Homo-oligomer: A and B are copies of this chain.
Amino acid sequence: MADTISFARGAPSLDIVDVEGLSAAAQRAFANDPGGLTAYGTAIGYVPLRKWIAEKHGVDESRVLVTNGSMQADAFLFQTLVQSGSDVVVEKPTYDRTLLNLKSLGAQIHMVSLERDGISTDELAGLLRGGVKPSLAHVIPNFQNPAGYTLSLEKRRALLDLAGEFGFPIFEDDPYIDIRFAGESLPTMLSLDESDDKVVYASSFSKTVAPGVRVGYLVGPAGLIDDIRKLATNTYIAPNMVAQGIVYEFCASGAIDRSIATVKAALAERVDILCDALAEHLPEATFQKPEGGYFMWVSLPEGSDIDAIFAAASERGVAIVKGTDFLLEGGENTLRLAYSGVTADQIEEGVKRLAEAVHAVPVAG
């Protein structure tokens, strides 16, 4: 069998990572701030990077905490706000690790339908009026994982209104925002929230620099950020100063802008090829072409058996993620395709293999 072509992992292929730029940033970082990189530092993160992030988002530095990747930021936030039995709202479908971590905390998870313009605010309003009191509502607003959909401006405003009316924090989980390769950018809920107390925002440098640097961050109300700072101090004293120092140099020098341009151009090309190949080889698949990010959600005809398709695909050397992994129930006719880790020349062959796998499995009913 040929080497496996993976549409499974949400990670960039090495050809779109600026390794030379990172190596050069490392040299500058050690030369410019040897004390800052090698000393313990503090739990708020590497100070110049924290300042750069605060300026990017137009907020006071006291509202920013830089962590070892944004998953660690999520973990701290959940540890602070979510107890066993807490009501938590997530999108349906949503990121499988988020779902797993909320489950393991014993949260009462309420999945709210994700539409092509984002979470159903009507369905959420119904839940809230019915008495659900969320500890947080987790929303991935841009190029959602796994669906690739983006939350409309109207719904961003509606969510903020609901958060104000019913008194819950929105967890705006936004790692893909800078990887928009089509359409118009929308303002973050963080920036739309004039009260500065309704949104906790998370993002990451995994998609704009590289995942291996493991640098993410939270922006939130200063009091909450200070609580999380204490938790972070007791957990690890400080996050990685060497990696954060390198990322700071990469950002401050403008290398990050060139890196983002490279990533966007590559992903735009891949999405075009992916959608064309699906139309040709798997015409029964339905999907919405993403305007950014790493992922596309694909629906097959009702009655499809994703477990069998997954196995058949695996046998044919193509990896996907089953839609059921992103849901508490249902989704047996859905899958997620990541186009971040495949190079353009692998995509058509991968889709051909996937189509063969789909066509090898009978549809029920």
Contact = CB atoms under 8 A, between A and B. Distances in A.
A9 B213 CA distance: 27
A35 interface: yes
Given A38-B211, A213-B240, A235 B72 contact: yes
A19 B236 CA distance: 22
B71 A212 contact: no
B27 A14 contact: no
Contact of A14 (B11, B39, B72, B241): B39
For A34, A72, A212, the residue with the greatest tally of chain B CB atoms inside 10 Å of its CB is A212
Interface size class of A (residues with CB under 8 A): 35 or more
A30 B22 contact: yes
Nearest to A30: B23
A241 B69 CA distance: 11
Given A69-B236, A100-B234, A236-B69, A34 B11 contact: no
Number of copies: 2
B68 A39 contact: no
Interface in A277-326: none
Interface in A13-54: 14, 17, 19-20, 22-23, 26-27, 30-31, 34-41
A71 B235 contact: yes
A236 B239 CA distance: 12
Contacts of A92: none
Contact of A211 (B11, B40, B68): B40
Interface of A: 9, 11, 14, 17, 19-20, 22-23, 26-27, 30-31, 34-41, 68-69, 71-72, 75, 97, 100-101, 104, 206, 210-214, 234-243, 245-246
